[in-house]
């Protein structure tokens, strides 16, 4: 019996933006229109409190309640900075951050702490027959995959989550299953369960590590 079914929509800015910026930002026009075709059936909708996620929800005409637990990683002093600028000014700090999930050279939140708070949120999700839709940031989705697939936090950066892709996590009889992909057509709120046509991955806790990439 299914206890939890959660679809997470990645609201990260689309490729082609002029440089990657740490933290909140606006999705491009193409990204907002493309997201219209990436919505599965859902019974309840949540979103991260960022401006970006609010705009994506608005573009999708989704009444999503803000959920603080879905907030992006706190980048500290790197907030609003370009990735290439950080790489030039603090290459050691950036390298350490990418290698050590416990590191927080920016003074904000470490990857390990993000994974811990995301795991706590997933564990607290109430059971029910309807799907929960969560519009959130790529780091939060990576952290959710770390928990659901029981991989170590150091695998965080190996989990590629493309902009506007969806990840569906299903908890049934103690097993998590991950489905990655983009539904082909927009949907209205519903409690009906429909499978997303992508490869399903199921793991028991602690069995193995793996790298996931959503189908483009």
pLDDT at 211 over 50: no
**Average pLDDT of the residues in 166-195:** 66
What is the rounded average pLDDT for all residues in the chain? 78
Cα distances (Å, whole numbers) of residue 193 to 4, 5, 23, 187: 12, 9, 33, 12
- Count other C-beta atoms under 10 Å from residue 54's C-beta: 18
Please state the rounded mean pLDDT for residues 31-46. Answer: 68
The mean pLDDT of 41-66, rounded to a whole number, is 92
pLDDT of res. 206: 33
pTM for the predicted model, two decimal places: 0.79
Burial 150-178 (b: 16+ CB within 10 A, else e): ebebebbeebebbbbbbbbbbbeeeebbb
Of the two residues 212 and 107, the one the predictor is more confident about is 107
205 vs 107: which has the higher pLDDT: 107
DSSP-derived pairing of the beta strands 132-136 and 44-47: parallel
Question: Out of 63-77, 106-120, 190-204, which region has the weakest mean confidence (pLDDT)?
Answer: 190-204
165 falls in which pLDDT band (50, 70, 90)? confident
In this structure, the strands spanning 44-47 and 65-66 are parallel
- In the predicted structure, residue 142 carries a pLDDT above the cut 80: yes
pLDDT at 160 (0 to 100) = 87
Task: Write the CA distances from 68 to 40, 63, 65, 107, integer angstroms.
Answer: 23, 16, 10, 20
- Position 66 scores a pLDDT of 97
Residue 100 confidence (pLDDT) = 97
Q: Please compute the mean of the pLDDT values over residues 176-205 and round it to a whole number.
A: 47
Which range in 53-62, 63-72, 129-138 is most confidently predicted, on average pLDDT?
63-72
């Amino acid at each position: 019996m299914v206890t939890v079914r959660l679809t997470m929509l990645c609201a990260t800015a689309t490729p082609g933006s002029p440089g990657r910026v740490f933290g909140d930002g606006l999705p491009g026009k193409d990204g907002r229109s493309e997201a219209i075709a990436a919505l599965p059936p859902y019974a309840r909708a949540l979103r991260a409190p960022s401006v970006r996620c609010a705009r994506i929800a608005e573009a999708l005409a989704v009444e999503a309640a803000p959920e603080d637990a879905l907030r992006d990683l706190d980048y500290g002093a790197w907030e609003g900075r370009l990735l290439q600028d950080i790489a030039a000014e603090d290459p050691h700090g950036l390298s350490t951050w990418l290698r050590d999930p416990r590191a927080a050279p920016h003074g904000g939140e470490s990857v390990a702490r993000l994974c811990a708070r995301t795991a706590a949120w997933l564990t607290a999700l109430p059971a029910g027959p309807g799907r929960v839709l969560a519009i959130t940031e790529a780091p939060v989705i990576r952290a959710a995959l770390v928990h659901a697939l029981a991989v170590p936090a150091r695998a965080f950066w190996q989990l590629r989550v493309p902009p506007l892709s969806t990840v569906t996590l299903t908890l049934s009889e103690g097993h998590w299953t991950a489905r990655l992909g983009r539904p082909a057509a927009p949907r209205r709120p519903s409690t009906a369960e429909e499978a997303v046509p992508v490869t399903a991955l199921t793991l028991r806790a602690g069995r193995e590590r793996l790298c996931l990439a959503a189908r483009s």
